[in-house]
Amino acid sequence: MGEAGTKPFIGSERLRAGAVSWHELARYHRAIMPDVYVARRAELTLRDRTLAAWLWSRRRAVVAGAAASALHGAKWIDDDTPIELVWRNARAPQGVIARADLLLDGETQWWGALEFTTPERTAFDLGRRGSLWHGVARLDALARATSFKIDDVLRLAKQHPHTKGLRQLEAALDLVDAGADSPKETWLRLLLIWAGFPRPQTQIPVLRPNGERYYLDMGWEDIKLAVEYDGEHHLTDRLQYVWDAAPLEYIRHVGWTHIKVLKEHRGDDVIYRVRQAWDRLTAQ
């Protein structure tokens, strides 16, 4: 987890080992949780905070939820996301959520000495908590990172028949799509589904004359209607924006109707634009 002295550590352990003095602990470090310290000027990542929360539990907790998802490689999880631990403690520090959940054999795995939930158990937890949209977005990211199987999560759920949120979990799992390349793409896909459109295909390949493939975010290949969310890379990454321009011209040249969605666009406006294109294309 990084070089010694740069990552979270238990202060009392370092003091007993003589690795640091009280003066050094107070002057060069700061406590981010009870008895858990980092270098005073350290900028904490989600992984740092996960390690700190686990150390706060005296290495007894199991990391779960979004933090576990990040350990599995899922993206789009903010560094200040609360760290969920399966551990009985009613006095969790700020930024930590301690849950007294039941964990069965086979629902955890290890990263060194740190124990965290498996992809299937992580999906089980993420899908049943918070809003449905939020759960699907988290599941999309986890599915993209791990390729967990929906049926495996459903089988796991049957082992926890009295757990809260099972209906939402089933609904969320039915909407999961590992093709989502960002939470905004999840939002856009769900917006279209909930507006009554058939479920769009994601990451639709379009072969270019030079043999390269361009992948459309989502759409319906049978009528050649694509809908893509355009993030802020056109503002932050000019080269990426320029690279995207040529494929887009080709996509339209070979008959695709392409609808670009920006963060400023309202959901109703997006639906109206897609509906207009849909009606025109299906009437042909």
The predicted model scores a pTM of 0.91
Overall average pLDDT of the 100-122 stretch: 97
Asked if the model's pLDDT at residue 1 lies above 50, the reply is no
Asked if the model's pLDDT at residue 235 lies above 50, the reply is yes
Per-residue model confidence as pLDDT tens digits over 163-216 = 999 999 999 999 999 999 999 999 999 999 999 999 999 999 998 888 888 899
Residue 232: predicted pLDDT: 62
C-alpha–C-alpha distance, residues 198 and 215, integer Å: 19
C-alpha–C-alpha distance, residues 137 and 257, integer Å: 26
Asked if the model's pLDDT at residue 283 lies above 60, the reply is yes
| Mean pLDDT of the residues in the chain | 93
Overall average pLDDT of the 16-39 stretch: 97
Strands (E), the chain: 9-10, 29-33, 36-39, 62-64, 83-86, 96-99, 108-111, 114-117, 201-207, 213-220, 225-229, 257-261
C-alpha–C-alpha distance, residues 232 and 3, integer Å: 34
Residue 146: predicted pLDDT: 98
Residue with tokens 């003066």: 23
| pLDDT band with cut points at 50, 70 and 90 for residue 248 | confident
